[in-house]
Amino acid sequence: MDLTGTLLLKRNDVAKLLTIDECITGVEQAFRLHAEGKALPPKILGIHSEKGGFHIKAGILGSGKKYFVAKVNANFPGNSKRNGLPTIQGIIVVCDEDNGRLLALIDSIEITIIRTGAATGVAAKYLARQSAKNVTICGCGSQGKISLKALMKVRSLKRAYVFDIDERSAQRFTEHFSNELEVISVKKNDLVMALRDSNIVATCTPSRQPFIRGEDISPGTFIAAVGADSEEKQELFPELVASNKIVVDLAEQSATIGELHHTIEEKRITIAAIHAELGMIITGKKPGRESEKEIIIFDSTGMALQDVAAASIVYEKALACKMGMKLNFSEQPGDRYNFEVLKNQKDFQALKAWFPFR
């Protein structure tokens, strides 16, 4: 057993280690294990601040080696303009479930983006029409990009309409995917046209006001509602949610912080209106799409077991290819600080400056 310290992994490390394909596989398995009762119920804690908020998501998966994973994320939607910082920032803690040993500290940004996109891909695999060709992506940041990549893994898409209030982001998005499919950037006045021409819609914005109505959506559309992951965020009008089939990642969580939350608050439906959690459809306990015309909404609030699945992949691959740096947090006072430099001398020197060496 390797007892030399805790592995430290940056965002760039995660980007090199975690592919959307293996994350889709890992996340699908996490939903399956949860539905089969083979994973402990994941937990979430949210705390608001003046200009954003913080949440902690934690869970353990029972497949193979068991890891306890806890993610602490800050979510500050105005960060880019105000501070030049990412909207999402945080850290993921990976521990050995058997003995509590601190195995790794991993930057949370890339894992959060990829595992969320993976959940969209998994949901589309089971809920979108097989013939789906056109998609609308609302929100052209990192989450919008990974969502389209995930959707392209599970459906043979031909055209993507992309919308963002920042037209420069939409243009960059268009250029990024221009060699893979037809990409059309639309402005606000053309969004309804794009939505009506789409078989799949993914909303990946920090909006606090709904902007998609029931009349905007064509029969047979699959909607991945990704943006609403706190009580204040909302992208879909409640009448759209209330009148169509609702699939969620976690029922209680969606009823508290998802699109479902707003619809329940308006007393249009109760939590009993949920058709199924996604894991129940994956395991065959509930049917998925039952007709070509039904509109299905996936309320994606982010299940902690998605983080467990993704972080486990990253940690094990990092060990296998010797990526990252190790630091022993358990050193006793007076002991030598023991750094194991695996890669990146620049990072090592920066970290070394904070710790005395003898």
Confidence of residue 358 (pLDDT cuts 50, 70, 90): very low
Confidence of residue 291 (pLDDT cuts 50, 70, 90): very high
Among 57-66, 172-181, 286-295, which is the least confidently predicted range? Answer: 57-66
Q: Are strands 339-341 and 325-327 parallel, antiparallel or unpaired?
A: antiparallel
Does the reported pTM lie above 0.85?
yes
> Could you give all domains of the chain from N- to C-terminal order, each with its CATH number?
6-111+305-352 (3.30.1780.10), 118-302 (3.40.50.720)
Mean pLDDT over the full length of the chain: 91
- 312-331 pLDDT tens trace: 999 999 999 999 999 888 76
Partners of 75 in beta bridges: 53, 88
Q: What is the pLDDT of residue 349?
A: 61
Among 140-149, 178-187, 322-331, 340-349, which is the least confidently predicted range? Answer: 340-349
Q: What is the pLDDT of residue 64?
A: 66
Q: Shortest CA distance to 25 belongs to which of 316, 310, 319, 318?
A: 310
Confidence of residue 39 (pLDDT cuts 50, 70, 90): very high
Average pLDDT over residues 30-47: 94
Average pLDDT over residues 267-281: 97
Q: Shortest CA distance to 104 belongs to which of 13, 8, 12, 196?
A: 8
Q: Which of 10, 51, 65, 66 is catalytic?
A: 66
Active site residue 66: yes
Average pLDDT over residues 151-174: 96
- 219-248 pLDDT tens trace: 999 999 999 988 889 999 999 999 999 999
Q: What is the pLDDT of residue 328?
A: 86
State what percent of residues in the chain have pLDDT above 90. Answer: 80
Phi/psi for 183 (5° steps) reads: -120, 125
Is the pLDDT at 207 greater than 90, yes or no? yes
Q: Shortest CA distance to 44 belongs to which of 303, 238, 311?
A: 303
Cα separation, 114 vs 124, whole angstroms: 15
